[in-house]
Amino acid sequence: MVSNLSFLYMSISVLLSIGVPVGLLIYLHQRQSISWKAVTVGALVWFFFTQGLEKMVHIYVFNVNPFTAEWLKHPLWFALYGALAAGIFEEAGRYIGFTSWLKASRARKDGVAYGLGHGGVESLLVGGIMGVQSILMARMINRGTLDTLGDKLSPEVLEQAKNLLLSTPPIAFLAGGLERNIALAMQIALSLLVLYGVRQGKLAILFAAIAAHAIIDFPVALYQSMRFDTLYLFLYLIILFAISLFFIFWSKRLFPREDR
């Protein structure tokens, strides 16, 4: 049985994943008149680069190439690959978004809007929709009706999902929602960093953003494969959140007063 505490934390996680980005979008649009175009470009770039291009590479290295598939079974290599792939595709997409479709949108608030679109759609789809799916599957487990999904999912996938929901500590479900919000702050911070690099014409800042993204993602990817103590993940996420918020507010110094 999936515990009531797990259901509570899953529900809170979904609310955080959906409510925070939507609330920020409404607030910033009213207070700063952020660009809907920048928000939309951020969302579309995230979808195309992560759900399209990056997933195509994942299919090749995990399913087509036997050498890389075997190599990536090791938790450390898996985490390193996942972190680098996320950094390369997301930051390259961010750079292309600013240089191709947002040439006239180079103010700091445009970077915030882009990051909100990029991280917001990720939070809605990954944390929100997948969270709702987890809640529904957990209810089916408790009611003994999970097998009714057999015509849509293979027995192996159903068994894997069942074992995951039953074995995951309740607090880990809450960590998922917090991680989405922290990732949102990180996406806004990285968007501001890349935008600054574009304004300065310094490609080196793009590579710095890729490296920062990979370093940030590595412990999270390692947790997915090794499942170390959730407390350590919480502490890491809190530190990451603090650093991201600090950079977001400090970044005002990187932009001229009229573009803040």
**What pLDDT, in 10s, does the model give residues 89-132?**
999 999 999 999 999 999 999 999 999 999 999 999 999 999 99
- Scanning the structure block, which residue is given the tokens 């934390």? 9
Residue-wise pLDDT for 154-201, tens only, equals: 888 888 888 989 988 888 898 888 889 999 999 999 999 999 999 999
Residue 4 has a pLDDT of 94
Angle between helices 4-32 and 130-143 (to 10 degrees): 160
Q: Name the CA radius of gyration of the chain, rounded.
A: 19
Residue-wise pLDDT for 201-244, tens only, equals: 999 999 999 999 999 999 988 887 776 777 888 889 899 999 99
Structure tokens at 8: 């509570």
Residue-wise pLDDT for 61-95, tens only, equals: 999 999 999 999 999 999 999 999 999 999 999 99
Of 146 and 250, the one with more pLDDT: 250
Q: What region, left, alpha or beta, does residue 144 occupy, with left being phi > 0 and alpha being psi -120 to 50 degrees?
A: left
Residue 88 has a pLDDT of 98
pLDDT band, residue 147 (cuts 50/70/90): confident
Residue 153 has a pLDDT of 78
Residue-wise pLDDT for 13-66, tens only, equals: 999 999 999 999 999 999 999 999 999 999 999 999 999 999 999 999 999 999
Spatial distance between the Cα atoms of 45 and 153, rounded to a whole number of angstroms: 29
Residue 223 has a pLDDT of 84
Residue 158 has a pLDDT of 84
- Scanning the structure block, which residue is given the tokens 């609310």? 15
**Mean pLDDT, all residues of the chain:** 93
CB neighbours of 139 closer than 8 A, spacing ≥ 6? Answer: 2
Q: How many residues does the chain have?
A: 260
Residue 154 has a pLDDT of 82
Task: Please write down the HEC assignment for all residues of the chain.
Answer: CCCHHHHHHHHHHHHHHHHHHHHHHHHHHHHHCCCHHHHHHHHHHHHHHHHHHHHHHHHHHHHHCHHHHHHCCCHHHHHHHHHHHHHHHHHHHHHHHHHHHCCCCCCHHHHHHHHHHHHHHHHHHHHHHHHHHHHHHHHHHHHCCHHHHHHCCCHHHHHHHHHHHHHCCHHHHHHHHHHHHHHHHHHHHHHHHHHHHHHHCCHHHHHHHHHHHHHHHHHHHHHHHHCCCHHHHHHHHHHHHHHHHHHHHHHHHHCCHHHC
Spatial distance between the Cα atoms of 235 and 47, rounded to a whole number of angstroms: 29
